Amino acid sequence: MTLDAEQQTARDWFESLRTRICTAFEAIEREAGSDAAFDYFTWDRVDPSGGPGGGGVRGVMKGRVFEKVGVNVSTVGGTLEGDFARSINGAAEDPRFFATGISLVAHMANPRVPAVHMNCRFLATTKRWFGGGADLNPPLPVVEDTEDFHATLKAACDAHDADYYPRFKQWADEYFWLPHRKVHRGVGGIFFDHLEHGFDRDFAFVRNVGEAFLATYPRIVRRRMHDTFTDADVAAMRAWRGRYAEFNLVYDRGTLFGLKTGGNIDAILMSLPPLATWE
């Protein structure tokens, strides 16, 4: 794939953020006395036209603190097909597309440590835009952690537009909702899509979101990773994880986009927890 300057710039930064996040998570494992490290798996995508369609790297670590964490980066392009093309911003006029981004989901061994999701992406069709967000998913919520997470994201948003945080927080509250359960997936965060204010402005905001995540989440993990917990806490975590899996399989846009564009199945479904229960 031949990338233009904006596409290459976005790709390079997403990959550099992946490296720094993985390094930070491995450092937490070392502090817990674990030698767990990320394993990396490359994958290639074949476009429906039969030509090369890009690919990505799936990073997975299973450790003492992180029961299962996936940090994936991908850069893909080609042609969208049929009705799905008409559902993507700017692709109804021309089905050719490009997408690059980072996607992260962490499920924790200690139910007192919140799970988390973060992703940032840059897409190009006949239009160009950024999307993404981050949300905290504690099985057993703690007000201090929720406030820390939201305050850090709010500061990142406020540096760009005073309207961003309330608007993107509400969007997250509406998006990360399971209608069939009538519950939220977690304690929220921010969610945004179709930012089209120009590459430089929107890319600066997306970088701040990534940096905010890297600043706050490891801090929260360190705050809770040594907390004691009970068998009842573990049972509550696994039941909660069932709700998380339901959302990602039924409603998540990223899951659908990955499946519809021929992405790597293991990378697409890395968000699913290692152990979950349903009654």
**Domain residue ranges of the chain, discontinuous segments joined by +:** 5-271
Q: Give the distance, in angstroms, between the CA of residue 245 and the centroid of all CA atoms in the same chain.
A: 14
Nearest-CA neighbor of 135 among 115, 112, 164? 115
How far, in whole angstroms, is CA 184 from its chain's centroid? Answer: 17
Which pLDDT does position 69 carry in this prediction? Answer: 98
Taken as a whole, the chain contains a residue count of 279
Whether 117 is a known active-site residue: answer: yes
Tell me the whole-structure pTM to 2 decimals: 0.94
pLDDT at 80: 85
Q: What is the pLDDT along the chain (279 residues), one digit of tens a residue?
A: 789 999 999 999 999 999 999 999 999 999 999 999 999 999 999 887 777 899 999 999 999 999 999 999 999 998 888 888 888 888 888 988 999 999 999 999 999 999 999 999 999 999 999 999 999 999 999 999 999 999 999 999 999 999 999 999 999 999 999 999 999 999 999 999 999 999 999 999 999 999 999 999 999 999 999 999 999 999 999 999 999 999 999 999 889 888 888 888 998 898 999 999 998
- Residue 272 corresponds to which amino acid? L
Q: What is the greatest pairwise CA distance in the chain?
A: 56
HSE of 57 in the Cβ direction (CA atoms, 13 Å)?
13
C-alpha closest to that of 101 among 241, 209, 187, 174: 209
Q: How many CA atoms lie within 13 A of 29 on its CB side?
A: 21
Q: Which of 107, 117, 150, 184 is catalytic?
A: 117
Q: What is the pLDDT of residue 47?
A: 82
Going by C-alpha positions, the residue among 28, 104, 100, 14 that lies closest to residue 59 is 104
**Domain 5-271 part of CATH 3.90.600.10:** no
Q: Each residue of 66-79: pLDDT tens digit?
A: 999 999 999 999 88
